Amino acid sequence: MNASLTKVTNSSIVRKRFQSRDKYKLFLMASPFLILVLLFSYLPLFGWIYAFYDFRPGIPLSQSKFMGFYWFTSMVSNPIQRQELYRVLTNTFAFSGLGMLTSVLPVIFAILLTEIRNSAFKRIVQTITTLPNFISWVLVYSFAFMLFSVDNGFVNNLLFKLNWIEQPTNILASSEHVWLRMTLWEVWKGLGWGAILYIAAITGIDPELYEAARVDGAGRFRLIWHVTVPGIMSTYFVLLVLSIASFINAGFDQFFVFSNAMNMNHIEVLDLYVYNVGMANGNYGFATAVSILKSLVSLILFFAANSLSKLVRGEGVV
């Protein structure tokens, strides 16, 4: 840009005006982050090369067998294969879709929370609901196992002792309502955490708006509907668009720890499938091939969502 400017104006005074005196300083300040982006986002792309080899740990790539596009074609090589892929993608999109549907819950929760007048109670509620976010899925599963196991599970024992059930059942090994149950776990874990951003957004709304609305005779619900909700809508939208980009990344650890033979048909998302077939069996080439496709799909979804946002709201997120 500078170069073209100099060419056009050919004047040192104008050039000075357009050049930032601090440009090197600013660039230096940004460079650690640029380097991080380069290291963690662009350098790993080199690893895509493994998708074309039969890589085995320890053996350099130069001595590994070249496989061409075998790993890519093997994903869809026959009807059963395609069925499997279809099943896995259905699960992935189902969990992502349910995740999006439930993404309004933190908004509602945040609004309700800010409406609480007793600040001690408010803080207790917020702490309690935020805490689960910091518990790893591994521990969540042990907790679930303690609650629901047949012999020692708290829930089964309680229901059994109260004579509400005749036979203890293994809830964790049931294939029914897997999507719903997994989504509920996720909501339980993420509700408080997800609300934090919206609470911040609500705090940022100009109090004068509320005062003006009150003067106009708005009650509590109208305040919420006409001031609070529009005030946090843009935050919600940005988060929604970003989440579309990761539509195909439904997550891994939750499904990994909760998966078993009974629920596998409904719980196996793409990442878990890659782990089960690729990583656990040492098929690194295959695992890489699938994740390349995943990255491409994410990219397409993201640009689609962004242009949709431009179309609907007149502005994109990037």
- Under the rule (CB under 8 A), what is the footprint of another protein? 54, 56-60, 63, 65, 67, 70-71, 74, 78-81, 83-84, 138-139, 141-143, 145-146, 149-152, 168-170, 172-173, 257, 260-262, 264-265, 276-283, 285-286
> How many whole angstroms separate alpha carbon 90 and alpha carbon 296?
18
Q: Smallest distance, Å, CB 72 to another protein?
A: 12
Give the Cβ contact number of residue 54 at 10 Å: 16
In terms of CB distance, is 95 or 284 closer to another protein?
Answer: 284
Q: What would the two tokens of residue 97 be?
A: 């879709």
Q: Smallest distance, Å, CB 270 to another protein?
A: 14
Residue 316 burial by Cβ neighbours in a 10 Å radius (0-12, 13-18, 19+)? middle
Q: Smallest distance, Å, CB 142 to another protein?
A: 5
In terms of CB distance, is 171 or 224 closer to another protein?
Answer: 171
In terms of CB distance, is 32 or 57 closer to another protein?
Answer: 57
In terms of CB distance, is 49 or 233 closer to another protein?
Answer: 49
Q: Smallest distance, Å, CB 94 to another protein?
A: 19
Question: SS3 sequence, 46-100?
Answer: HHHHHHHEECCCCCCHHHCEECCCHHHHHCCCCHHHHHHHHHHHHHHHHHHHHHH
In terms of CB distance, is 150 or 292 closer to another protein?
Answer: 150
Q: What distances in angstroms separate CA 310 from CA 16, 234, 297, one per listed residue? A: 36, 13, 20
In terms of CB distance, is 20 or 265 closer to another protein?
Answer: 265
Query: What residue has token string 């790893």?
Result: 136
Q: Smallest distance, Å, CB 90 to another protein?
A: 16
Helix H segments across the chain? 2-9, 12-18, 23-37, 70-74, 79-101, 104-115, 119-130, 137-148, 154-161, 178-203, 207-215, 220-223, 229-245, 253-258, 264-267, 270-273, 284-313
Q: Smallest distance, Å, CB 278 to another protein?
A: 8
Q: Smallest distance, Å, CB 255 to another protein?
A: 14
In terms of CB distance, is 153 or 231 closer to another protein?
Answer: 153
